[in-house]
Amino acid sequence: MQQTVGKIPYRRVTEEEVRSWYEAFFNASEQAASADDVLRARDALIGRLKEFWTARILCNYRYSQNVHDAFYQAEVDYYDAAGPHANALETKYFRCMLGSPFRAELEERLGSLLFRKFEVSVRAQSDACIADEQEENALVSSYSRLMASMLFDWKGKKVPLSILKGKLEDGDAAVRKAAADAIGNGLAAHREELDKIYDNLVHVRDRIAKKMGYKNFVELGYYRIGRTGFTRDMVEAFRRNVCTSVVPVVQRLKERLAQTLGLRRFLFSDNDVYLTGGNPAFTLTIPQAFAAAQEMYDGMDGEIGAFFRDMVAAEAFDVESREGKCGGGFCDDLPSYGQEIILANFNGTTGDVDVLTHEFGHAYAMHASSAAGVDFELGIGGMETAECHSMSMEFLCHPYMEKFFFDRADEYRFKHLFDALSFLPYGCIVDEFQHFVYEHPEATPAERNAQYLALERKYRPYLTYDGIPYLSEGTRWQYQSHIYTDPFYYIDYCLAQTVALGFYMLSRKDAKNALETYKQFAKSGGSMPFSALVARAGLADPFADGTLGDLVREAERILSAYRGR
């Protein structure tokens, strides 16, 4: 890397350029006399397409850093319009590979998994829907722009949502309630926009699905996200297992926590606090946090430590919260430069360490799988695989938490494990809610909100939104960005959390072996199906009966031991 991320030059890669690269491949493929000819043409195409993906990712990164930047806003709008045309060309390329007279040899050399991915991707796109997809892209961007520019009243100041969410971890219940009220009031001021954007998204996605011959968007949504290793039936069975094995345990733990905290009832505003007096605060400055993280990764593994050092030197992290910056966090990579990038929003909570572990886990997997020679189109695998890299890294970092929380490190470890269990029911709420929405595209905003509240009662019966403005109507989902931007993605977090808990249990028995197993898992990227990767790691299948029950029982035992210290 010869320059820092901020100095990487940006150039729009046009739709016309992309079309010319694909046409060159189509011509070469048609004239190919052997599988080698097709592979050479494919290598040339991917080499050029890296320029397009790099430009689009860099554009999105800089736009996410400041949604008020008129230049990058216009560039995002350009790619929103050009993207569906590029997708159509990509689908033609998939069909060309699938229909090649040399397919048998190509599949033998590239692997059947890649061709399965091609088959699924072909089912997710139709040239007849390009205008609809452009409309969908514009709606997603309008949601991201709205949320990034939204400011909330907090004690006479205007603050972004990322800062306000941090107040939900305060040790004072009154402060937490005031923060939840401020979130509700702030969202309520944009009620019509939030409802309209989502209503339009649901209808355009439903229209696309029906144009393509699907009953509704659910099946298409699964194809879009590239699901090759599990089905809707398996997801429904997983959610049932969460209901029977996880929900009762989390409810018992939360009710016990409410007694410890002296709460008469467990409000939504109390849900992010796990300890009397509040969660351990993150008091390090950003430079101190990165110095501590460097010590942690150096102590963990020389290779991982060196990679973190390279990312810091490249200024590949943007973690400061500020107005106009997109909320949440993400990791991506710039393939033309072999550079991973991370965007997040520090807010003085335990979540700041989760960023340094979770998003860095993504970055390490991108780097490691690429260095290991995993085919570019297989990458780090599906989302369920990718989230294993990040969520497992969080747990593998547990032994080093004294560097961030000093004498409250055990409190962090307790909170993090408790939070991981609590997440599983919430993730199922998000997933089941989306299935309802796309099976009932005619539902009104009020009917969607009612369904969301019903799912809260099903998966989080200990919790109430009563008395919290706007959120009590069932609107919490409106600031879960994945619901707008990435349909059906969220269950992948739940599957990955199950795998991450498996890595955690393994690390408690043999930390060195767990780390080496994790590194092999990450370096394999998407070269194997999710289930095969999990099995090779010696971890339990998230879909198998008994897996969740075994993990949750052991986690509850560990939490009890922490509580007894």
- The pLDDT score that the predictor gives to residue 1 is 43
- The pLDDT score that the predictor gives to residue 354 is 84
Distance CA 145, CA 199 (A): 17
> What is the 3-state secondary structure of 77-136?
HHHHHHHHHHHHHHHHHHHHHHCCCCHHHHHHHHCHHHHHHHHHHHCCCCHHHHHHHHHH
- The pLDDT score that the predictor gives to residue 506 is 97
Tell me the one-letter amino acid at 222.
Y
> Using the 8-state DSSP alphabet, how is residue 457 labeled?
H
Q: How far is CA 129 from the centre of its chain?
A: 26
**Residue with token string 């005619």:** 442
Distance CA 170, CA 165 (A): 10
Strands in 213-369 per DSSP E: 317-318, 330-334, 339-343
Contact 548, 242 (CB under 8 A): yes
- The pLDDT score that the predictor gives to residue 565 is 54
- Residue 159 forms beta bridges with which residues? 152
Distance CA 52, CA 16 (A): 11
- Which of 390, 383, 335 is closest to 359 using CA atoms? 390
State the DSSP string of 422-450: HHHHHHHHHHHHHHHHHH-TT--HHHHHH
Q: How many residues does the chain have?
A: 565
CA atoms within 13 A on the CB side of 562: 19
Angle at CA 424, nearest 5°, toward 560 and 535? Answer: 90
Alpha carbon of 564 to those of 125, 247, 407, 440, 485: distances in Å?
55, 23, 16, 48, 42
- The pLDDT score that the predictor gives to residue 528 is 95
- The pLDDT score that the predictor gives to residue 123 is 97
Tell me the one-letter amino acid at 391.
M
- The pLDDT score that the predictor gives to residue 2 is 54
Residues with Cβ within 8 Å of 98's Cβ and at least 6 positions away in sequence, in order, are 115, 118, 119, 122
Q: Using CB atoms within 10 Å of the CB of residue 242, give its burial: 0 to 12 exposed, 13 to 18 middle, 19+ buried.
A: buried
Distance CA 34, CA 413 (A): 56
Distance CA 75, CA 66 (A): 13
Q: Tens place of pLDDT for every residue, the chain, 565 residues?
A: 457 999 999 999 999 999 999 999 999 999 999 999 999 999 999 999 999 999 999 999 999 999 999 999 999 999 999 999 999 999 999 999 999 999 999 999 999 999 999 999 999 999 999 999 999 999 999 999 999 999 999 999 999 999 999 999 999 999 999 999 999 999 999 999 999 999 999 999 999 999 999 999 999 999 999 998 899 999 999 999 999 999 999 999 999 999 999 999 999 999 999 999 889 989 999 999 999 999 999 999 999 999 999 999 999 999 999 989 988 889 999 999 999 999 999 999 898 998 899 999 999 999 999 999 999 999 999 999 999 999 999 999 999 999 999 999 999 999 999 999 999 999 999 999 999 999 999 999 999 999 999 999 999 999 999 999 999 999 999 999 999 999 999 999 999 999 999 999 999 999 999 999 999 999 999 999 999 999 999 999 999 999 999 999 999 999 999 875 5
pTM of the model: 0.95
CA atoms within 13 A on the CB side of 365: 31
